[in-house]
Structures are given as C-alpha cells and as structure tokens.
Structure 1
Amino acid sequence: MNRAMKRQALGIAMLATALHVGASATAMAQSRNPATPARPAAPAAPAAAAPAQAAPVADEGAAVKGTEIVARVGGSDVTAEEVRATIALLDARQQAAMARDPALLSQTVRAILANRLVLKEALAKKWDQQPTVVAQLARTRESLIVDSYLQSVTSPPDNYPAEADIKNVYEANASAFLVPRRFRMAQIVVTLTKDADKAAEEAARKKLDDIVKKIKQPGADFAALARSSSDDAASAERDGEIGWVAEPDLRTEIRSQVTGLPKSGIADPIRLEDGWHILKLVDTEASHTRPLVEVRDALVQRIRTERVEANRRAYVAELLKQTPPVVNEIALSRLLEPKGEAAPR
C-alpha cells in the first residue's frame, strides 16, 4: 500500500469514527451512569459577552437579506451576513448545538458586539500601530493570501469525485463504516461505595436481596421497581432506561453478562465501584454496515479534502523545484542557541 492509499485509509477511518460519535452512549465506563451522552460543546465565543442594545426594528419590506441589522452597539452594526459568516467558522458539532439551542446564537452575537467595543477602544489608542501588532498583522495577511491562493489553485472541480469513485472508496473501506452490535438497557442501582462501613454494606445487601426477590416474582414490573427503588435518580426517572450502548463500550464484567441475555432478560446483580447494578436487556440491534446513502456526503467531503491536500503538496513541490531554495544551515542552527552565548568557531 503506497503512502497516498495509507493516508486515504487513515482519513476514512477517522471519518467513520466521527460519524459513529453520538450513535450510541458509553455505558458503565467511569461512573454510575456514563451512558448518558455528553452535551455538545458550545461554540467558542470570540470574546466575553457584553450587554447589547436592542437593534432597531427595520422595515421588513426595505430589509435586504444578508444586510439586515440584527444588533448594534456603540454605533456599530452587526448584520445577518456577518453572523452567518461567524457561524460558518464553527465546526459541525458546534453548529448543530446552536441549531438546537437558540440561546447560543444570541451569545455569539453578543460576543461579536463585545469584540466591536474592544476593537473601537484599541483603535482609539492606536494599538494597531504597535510594532509587534504591525508585525503580527503582516504575518497574518501573508498567511491569508497564501492559503486562499493555494485553495483557489488546488481545489478539485465541483463534480469531483465521480459517483463510481465514491462507490469504490466506500466499498474499499466498508469495514470502517461497520456499526457494532448495540444493546438497549435499563438498570436498577443499589449504591454501595468501597469504603462503606459494615452497617451500610448490610443495609445495601438487604435492599439488593429485596429487589432481586421482587424481580423474580411472576409479572414483576422492572420499570416500576426502578422508579421506586433505584438509587440512580437519573435513570430512575426514565423507568431505569440508560439507552443504547455499543458492545465495545461495555465494561468487561457487564459485557459478559448482557451478551448472553435474551430480549427482556435480566442479568444477575453486577458489583461495580459505586454499588450493585441490576441490568435488563430491553432490545438488541445487530451489527451492520452503514449504507452509502447515509455516509455519502461526509465521504465526498473527506475525499475532496484529501485531494486538496495532495494537490497543495504537489503544487508547492513544483514551485520549489522551479526555484530551489538556499538555506544557510549554520546561521539557522544559531537561532536555537541561548541568548548571550556564541557558538565556537
């Protein structure tokens, strides 16, 4: 396998991993109910949020899409297009979080307004004329020009990749899109820490024995027992349910019990760091490969990104070939010497 194919395989594996994130919760990994999905990270604000003045209500007939003013502070306006541009800089997870929580959009706008106030004050004090700032701006400008130019000359055509290529890459990396077997589970927890005294241990054991006895009775209602008896309030509110969990995410001591259960089966109590867990297998989903239609958009984006990277390397290599650089290695090595020390001559 050549380097290009290895890079593509690695890229596809990373893509598959990203696509699987959120597909199932991680159960019993670190805490009592680690299967609860983590909240998506809020978009990073450019600066601390500041109170914003209400923007004037514009005439809907006169408002131009994209240039409509959505906020104002200190005589500076923020348009809808500027907000869209800021959102476009966020990653997919942050954008999804913003779509679910409109408050995050308001925070983003307020952060833009806060930046405007700081910028206004900095310019009034001629901060942009500081030598270090001037040098940083020059480097930033240079990087922006180089990056945007390379992007323009290395981007593949809009119709790339062809459907046949997409299918070939998908089939060659089908194993990367394999979704492992998943289990939908519910639990009843009896808390008992490792440092509990004898009295607490006896009380927990008595409660556990009582719950197990009730579960084994004909017609026992696991959900009702979870609501009334489980020490894990979060899952108890959901009739003990902890949701879907992928097989690789199960702790070893849990996997050995759950994988052998029939649907609606209840495992023997399992002792973990925080106490006893009585698990019920609500449902099972067999392992399967995600279909092409489901991963196509992300796969196309990955293929295009890899092509851009390859084109960029080739373009720069050709420039260097046409104009070979000359580097003074001796002078370069001196840059690493501590200040005040001279290299022996």
Structure 2
Amino acid sequence: MQKRCLLNVAVALCLLGQGYLAISAHAADEDKTVVAEMGEARLSRGQLQNMLSAMPVEKRQALLGNPTVLARLVQEEVVRLYLLQEARKGGMDKKPEVVMAMRQASEQVLLNQYMAELVKPGADFPSEALLQEAYDKNKAKWRSLKRVHVAQIFLPVSPDEQKNRAVQQEIVRVYGEVLQKKVKFGDLAKKYSQHRESAEKGGDMGWVTGDKLLPELAPLFMSMAANEVYPPVRTTMGWHIFKLLEKELAPIPTLAEVKDGLVKAIRREAMLAKEQEVMESVLKEHPAKVHKDLLPK
C-alpha cells in the first residue's frame, strides 16, 4: 500500500516537472487525477493544487522546488485523509462533543476570515512616511551585539535536584562575596568557578560574538554597562555570575534591511487595532442583551 502511495506521488512529481501542476483554482476543481492513495482514501491533483494555492508564495515556491519535501507533504496529506475516513467509519463524527467541536471550529474559521477581510489594510499601507517614522522611533530596538568581552564564575548543574539546590545556594553565597568587593572578581573566579579554562584566567572568557551567545544572554549583555556584575543567571549549562568587561554593538541596520519585517509588524498592529474598533462599533450599533438571571449558577 505504501509503495503504491509513493508511486502515485512520484507520478505527480513527474507531472509537476512537465509543467502540468499549474497553480489554478479553476483547473483544480476539474482535475480528479489521483496523485496519492491509501486504502479508500484518495488525494487528487486538484486537491493538491488547492492546497498549494492556499499557501504563502514563498512556501509554495519552496515546495515546488523540492520534490522530496513535496512528496512528503503529499504522503502526510493522504495519511490524514485515510485517518479521517477511519474516524467517520467508526462514527466519531456523530458523537455530540465532536459535532459541537467541529461546528465551533467551522464557525471560528468563518469568523476569522470575515474579520480578516474587514480589518485588512490597503495594499499601499503603510506609507513610506509612516515606515520612516516607525523606523526612526525604534532605532534602539534594531541595535544588536556584535561581540562581548565577559568574565564569569560558573557552577554546573546536576541531574540531582537536591544537589542543584545546594549549587544554587552556593552561587548566591559567592555572589554575596562579589558584592562585598573585598576580593577581586578575578580572584573569586579562580577560587570558585568550575569552568577550568576561564577560571585560570580570572574568569575571562575573551571576546564572544553575538551569534555564539545563548539567546537568553544577548538581551542581558545589551542591558549591562562596562564592569557591571549581573546577579546569578541559570542557563542550560549551569549557574553563572557574569561581569561585562567590554561590548561592541553592531551597526544599526538600514531601513531597507528591516523594511519587510517592519511592514508586517505595522500591518499586524493596525489590524489588531481595527479589530478592536470593529468589536466596539458592533456593540455600539447593536447593544448585546445579556439575561444574567438566566445564566447558569
């Protein structure tokens, strides 16, 4: 059965390579050619075309350019259709709770599409002036770390929770010593840090580029000033007390470099605001009457 499914997928991909799999909704409605099957489940080329047409252009182009990934998608879809058939054969779609859930899901899809049409900004939104204004206001947010020069005191974590609690207590105690400033940070690192390579250098880890940092550490170092010591931080590796020695920031990207993401963010924000306006407008024009005395208690 699986071989037959894969054979039909291969045929579909051959047709794709010959240009027969054009993205056309009209053709999709007419094309009943089976491109994959499993048991009684069938996936037609028309259905596949409709699936592809509904995808974002970038994703669709990526799939059409990668026959292996497209074949996997087709196989997953025919498995889904097969399981749906089995569920219906077993009467799953007749169960009251399933009927209700299906109805709610269907209504939500309809509502989402309706709201999307109501709040969708025009194709020319945002204007170049609005883009420039948003870019100028958020320049600081576009800053990123090029590299940081840090020192640390490190204590590893253990699979044993009881030992972990002891490690946490120890790192807090060591941090207390750091705050007292009676002993230099480097000397405390040599004494307590269990990252041997940096401990031998007084905790100095040298320069680390931004792309090599753990994701949670980049914002932390961005917020720190030179020679500042940060309270104990837990990562997947263990507990750290970081001292920022120096940092270099990457150049602020140009508007052209961030334009695509900025456009999406502004449009998304505008749609959310419009959704709220629509809800308030509907309530104003058609006040809802809630019979509180009839609500379940």
Q: Distance in 1 between matches of 2:156 and 2:104?
A: 59
Which among 144, 162, 167 is matched to residue 127 of structure 2? 162
Q: Distance in 2 between matches of 1:105 and 1:62?
A: 15
Which among 43, 56, 64 is matched to residue 21 of structure 2? 64
Q: Distance in 2 between matches of 1:316 and 1:193?
A: 50
User: 1:236 maps to which residue?
Assistant: none
RMSD: 5.2
Tell me the amino acid that sits aligned with residue 139 of structure 1. Q
Q: Distance in 2 between matches of 1:181 and 1:321?
A: 49
Q: Distance in 1 between matches of 2:239 and 2:111?
A: 55
The answer as to 2:61 corresponding to 1:76 is no
Q: Secondary structure at the match of 1:289?
A: coil
Superposed CA deviations along residues 11-38 of structure 1, whole A, max 9, x for unmatched, are xxxxxxxxxxxxxxxxxxxxxxxxxxxx
Higher helix share: 2
Unaligned runs of 5+ in 1: 1-49, 186-190, 196-204, 213-239, 258-271, 276-280, 338-345
Task: Output aligned runs, 1:146-295, within 5 Å.
Answer: 146-177=111-142, 179-183=143-147, 244-245=212-213, 248-249=219-220, 285-295=248-258
Tell me if the contact between 1:182 and 1:247 (Cα under 8 Å) persists in the aligned partners: no
Q: Distance in 2 between matches of 1:159 and 1:242?
A: 36
The answer as to 2:90 corresponding to 1:125 is yes
The alignment's TM-score, normalised by the length of structure 1, stands at 0.48
Tell me the amino acid that sits aligned with residue 260 of structure 2. D
User: 1:330 maps to which residue?
Assistant: 293
Superposed CA deviations along residues 198-244 of structure 1, whole A, max 9, x for unmatched, are xxxxxxx9x979x98xxxxxxxxxxxxxxxxxxxxxxxxxxx99964
How far does residue 156 in structure 1 lie from its aligned partner after superposition?
1.3
How far does residue 141 in structure 1 lie from its aligned partner after superposition?
2.2
Identity of aligned residues (%): 19
Task: Output aligned runs, 1:13-24, within 5 Å.
Answer: none
The alignment's TM-score, normalised by the length of structure 2, stands at 0.55
Task: Output aligned runs, 1:139-150, within 5 Å.
Answer: 139-150=104-115
Q: In 2 relative to 1, CA 121–274 (structure 1 residues): closer, same or farther, beyond 3 Å? A: same
Tell me if the contact between 2:145 and 2:210 (Cα under 8 Å) persists in the aligned partners: no
How far does residue 273 in structure 1 lie from its aligned partner after superposition?
6.1
Which among 259, 283, 292 is matched to residue 320 of structure 1? 283
Tell me if the contact between 1:52 and 1:72 (Cα under 8 Å) persists in the aligned partners: yes
Unaligned runs of 5+ in 2: 150-154, 164-193, 202-207, 229-236, 241-245
Number of corresponding residues: 227
User: 1:223 maps to which residue?
Assistant: none
Tell me if the contact between 2:144 and 2:222 (Cα under 8 Å) persists in the aligned partners: no
